[in-house]
Amino acid sequence: MADIEFENVTTLAKANVYFDGKVVSHTIILADESRKTLGLIYPGSFHFDTEQAERMEIIAGTCSVKVEGEESATQFIEGQHFDVSAKSGFDIEIKEGICEYICSFID
């Protein structure tokens, strides 16, 4: 996958660190004031709750995801994405390597 660049953004230096550092992201704020996080997930299984709807774009690696309300998990690879409704959640599992993602918050 080609490098993805964001222009004219504000980057928050303080990292978002979850699960003892196994999930780490940084927040960027775009010119239109929308917000994204750019992050890494190390091997393990993790649950995330959502306040806002989210789109998770996988930009490197592989993960298995079960979104609340779905019957089974689905595997996602580089170049694919999944959506999660507001006030919901998802389980994500990384079996090996590092999964890199872009999370877009949807109004």
For the domain spanning 10-106, the CATH number is 2.60.120.10
As a whole number, mean pLDDT of residues 6-24 equals 97
Domain residue spans in the chain? 10-106
The residue to which tokens 């080609």 are assigned = 2
pTM over 0.85: yes
**Per-residue pLDDT averaged across 31-54, rounded?**
97
Say how far apart CA 107 and CA 23 lie, in whole Å: 24
pLDDT for res 3: 85
Q: Are strands 74-77 and 62-67 parallel, antiparallel or unpaired?
A: antiparallel
Helix, strand, coil percent content, the chain, rounded in steps of 5: 5, 60, 40
Q: What is the pLDDT of residues 21-42, one digit of tens each?
A: 999 999 999 999 999 999 999 9
